[in-house]
């Protein structure tokens, strides 16, 4: 579980060579410019190459940078990220059990809100209701955000819906596509699951200590990337849009959209957000069954209220639910 970090030299070298993209430069001059020697520079170049940066050395020893990988490297996520707070700190890993687990441990000491924990691959990605989240490398987004909102714990489920709205709008920013939110925490593309949100809370009576928002998105999965049991119900943005999406850019767009919604939520609660939740909801007006523990309730969805509860017209009258598993009848 090694954290992916750049040493100071590789980091400054990357900043310099980004500006010289496609143009060969002399390593001696670059080393002098960076107040180092050629050996140290060569180590930094090798390090960047190992991380997937496209760097060539020609016969004259000149170095040319031609592109960055679409991998979740902190330097790539931060490059061009326009947020004030989200992703302000990044903990990136090649492979972890679960980013939510790491975020949970970090949140106890980590003071800054918006810290992002991200991994290329999860070995025990957690889903809701004790399920797992299939997390193969190279195609998906698996990350967790640490939030410290001063809200009553009962309002925390609203953050799942806020995340779903931000994901929906991020997906829509790529083109015309049928995207819907399935309360409480799924994002569907053409009716199949493409993203899931696992919001975990640390709270005392009446007080939220921190919230971990875990986000899993099937971005560039091809049908064959899903195991048999998921094939029927899961899809990816790539399948929906019929084009490959830059994962780093997707994350940057998402973080910016999420941040705008989050600031608004902290300022004025769910009012504005609720309109969007209703606009994107796949369940409004639908006849559903809601399973909560051993109890199943049938009815028609008539609203999602200001606290994020699902409101149903049932045979026992109007009832509101804060959690549960929904199936459309
Ligand atoms: C669900 O739909 O059941 C929620 C899935 C949430 C998956 C994400 S992937 C990143 C983060 N880390 C985890 O272990 N789970 C969440």
Query: pLDDT grade, residue 205 (50/70/90)?
Result: very high
Mutate to test the pocket of ligand 1, among 118, 137, 142, 234 (most ligand atoms within 8 A of CB): 142
Tell me, in angstroms, the distance from the centre of ligand 1 to residue 226's CA.
16
Query: What residues does 203 pair with on adjacent strands?
Result: 208
Stated length of the chain? 329
Contact between 198 and 221 under an 8 Å Cβ cutoff? The reply is no
User: What value does the mean pLDDT take over residues 206-234?
Assistant: 95
Contact between 133 and 161 under an 8 Å Cβ cutoff? The reply is no
What does the pLDDT read at residue 2? 85
Whether the upstream peptide bond of residue 166 has omega within 30° of 0, thus cis, is: no
Nearest CA to ligand 1 atom 16: 214
Ligand 1 touching residue 98 (CB < 6 A):
yes
Burial 10-40 (b: 16+ CB within 10 A, else e): bebbbeebeeeeeeeeebeebbeebebeeeb
pLDDT greater than 90 at residue 103: yes
What does the pLDDT read at residue 1? 73
Distance CA 191, CA 139 (A): 20
Ligand 1 touching residue 125 (CB < 6 A):
yes
Ligand 1 touching residue 53 (CB < 6 A):
no
Distance CA 224, CA 33 (A): 48
Ligand 1 touching residue 310 (CB < 6 A):
no
Beta-strand pair 207-218/54-57: unpaired
What does the pLDDT read at residue 140? 98
What does the pLDDT read at residue 194? 98
Write out pLDDT tens, residues 115-137: 999 999 999 999 998 899 999 99
What does the pLDDT read at residue 264? 96
Give percent of the chain with pLDDT exceeding 90: 92
Ligand 1 touching residue 100 (CB < 6 A):
yes
Query: Other C-beta atoms within 10 Å of 249: how many?
Result: 15
The candidate with the shortest Cα–Cα distance to 172, out of 85, 245, 231, is: 245
User: What value does the mean pLDDT take over residues 273-296?
Assistant: 95
pLDDT greater than 90 at residue 186: yes
Distance CA 193, CA 189 (A): 6
User: What value does the mean pLDDT take over residues 230-259?
Assistant: 97
Atom of ligand 1 nearest to the CA of 135: 9
Ligand 1 touching residue 216 (CB < 6 A):
yes
What does the pLDDT read at residue 329? 86
Q: What SS3 string covers 143-198? A: EEEEECCCCCHHHCHHHHHHHHHHHHHHHHCCCCCCEEEECCCEEEECCEEEEEEE
What does the pLDDT read at residue 233? 93
User: What value does the mean pLDDT take over residues 247-257?
Assistant: 98
What's the chain's average pLDDT?
Answer: 95
Atom of ligand 1 nearest to the CA of 101: 14
Query: pLDDT grade, residue 291 (50/70/90)?
Result: very high
Query: pLDDT grade, residue 20 (50/70/90)?
Result: confident
User: What value does the mean pLDDT take over residues 215-223?
Assistant: 97
The candidate with the shortest Cα–Cα distance to 10, out of 57, 62, 60, 76, is: 76
User: What value does the mean pLDDT take over residues 304-322?
Assistant: 95
What does the pLDDT read at residue 195? 98
pLDDT greater than 80 at residue 111: no
Tell me, in angstroms, the distance from the centre of ligand 1 to residue 197's CA.
6
Distance CA 119, CA 71 (A): 10
What does the pLDDT read at residue 104? 95
Contact between 3 and 49 under an 8 Å Cβ cutoff? The reply is no
Structure-block tokens of residue 281: 């909801």
Nearest CA to ligand 1 atom 10: 142
User: What value does the mean pLDDT take over residues 269-290?
Assistant: 95
Atom of ligand 1 nearest to the CA of 193: 2
Tell me, in angstroms, the distance from the centre of ligand 1 to residue 156's CA.
17
What does the pLDDT read at residue 121? 96
What does the pLDDT read at residue 63? 94
pLDDT greater than 80 at residue 202: yes
Ligand 1 touching residue 136 (CB < 6 A):
no
Ligand 1 touching residue 128 (CB < 6 A):
yes
User: What value does the mean pLDDT take over residues 245-260?
Assistant: 98
Give percent of the chain with pLDDT exceeding 70: 100
Distance CA 146, CA 105 (A): 10
Tell me, in angstroms, the distance from the centre of ligand 1 to residue 273's CA.
22
Write out pLDDT tens, residues 58-87: 998 899 999 999 999 999 999 999 999 999
pTM of the model: 0.96
Atom of ligand 1 nearest to the CA of 143: 10
What does the pLDDT read at residue 208? 95
What does the pLDDT read at residue 286? 96
The candidate with the shortest Cα–Cα distance to 195, out of 208, 179, 209, is: 179
282: three-class secondary structure by DSSP: coil
Tell me, in angstroms, the distance from the centre of ligand 1 to residue 127's CA.
5
Distance CA 245, CA 323 (A): 32
Tell me, in angstroms, the distance from the centre of ligand 1 to residue 298's CA.
27
Query: pLDDT grade, residue 190 (50/70/90)?
Result: very high
Atom of ligand 1 nearest to the CA of 126: 14
Structure-block tokens of residue 156: 């925390």
Nearest CA to ligand 1 atom 2: 196
Distance CA 96, CA 117 (A): 10
């Amino acid at each position: 579980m090694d954290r992916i970090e750049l040493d100071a030299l590789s980091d400054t070298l990357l900043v310099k060579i980004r500006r010289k993209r496609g143009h060969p430069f002399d390593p001696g001059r670059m080393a002098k410019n960076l107040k180092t020697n050629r050996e140290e520079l060569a180590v930094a170049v090798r390090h960047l190459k190992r991380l997937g940066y496209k760097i060539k050395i020609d016969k004259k020893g000149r170095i040319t940078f031609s592109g960055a990988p679409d991998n979740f490297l902190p330097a790539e996520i931060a490059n061009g990220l326009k947020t004030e707070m989200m992703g302000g700190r990044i903990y990136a890993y090649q492979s972890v059990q679960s980013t939510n687990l790491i975020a949970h441990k970090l949140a106890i000491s980590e003071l800054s809100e918006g810290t992002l924990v991200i991994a290329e691959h999860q070995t025990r990605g957690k889903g809701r209701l004790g399920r797992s989240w299939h997390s193969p490398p190279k195609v998906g987004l698996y990350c967790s955000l640490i939030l410290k909102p001063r809200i009553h714990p009962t309002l925390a489920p609203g953050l799942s819906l806020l995340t779903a709205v931000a994901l929906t709008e991020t997906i829509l920013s790529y083109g015309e596509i049928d995207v819907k939110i399935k309360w409480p925490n799924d994002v569907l593309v053409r009716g199949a699951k493409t993203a899931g949100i696992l919001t975990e809370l640390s709270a005392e009576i009446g007080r939220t200590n921190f919230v971990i928002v875990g986000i899993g998105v099937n971005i560039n999965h091809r049908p064959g990337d899903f195991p048999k049991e998921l094939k029927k119900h899961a899809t990816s943005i790539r399948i929906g849009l019929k084009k490959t999406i830059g994962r780093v850019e997707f994350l940057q767009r998402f973080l910016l959209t999420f941040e705008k919604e989050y600031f608004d939520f902290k300022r004025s609660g769910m009012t504005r957000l609720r309109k969007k939740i209703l606009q994107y909801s796949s369940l409004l007006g639908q006849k559903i069954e809601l399973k909560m523990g051993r109890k199943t309730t049938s009815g028609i969805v008539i609203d999602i209220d200001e606290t994020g509860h699902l409101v149903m017209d049932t045979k026992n009258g109007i009832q509101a639910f804060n959690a549960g598993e929904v199936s459309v009848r």
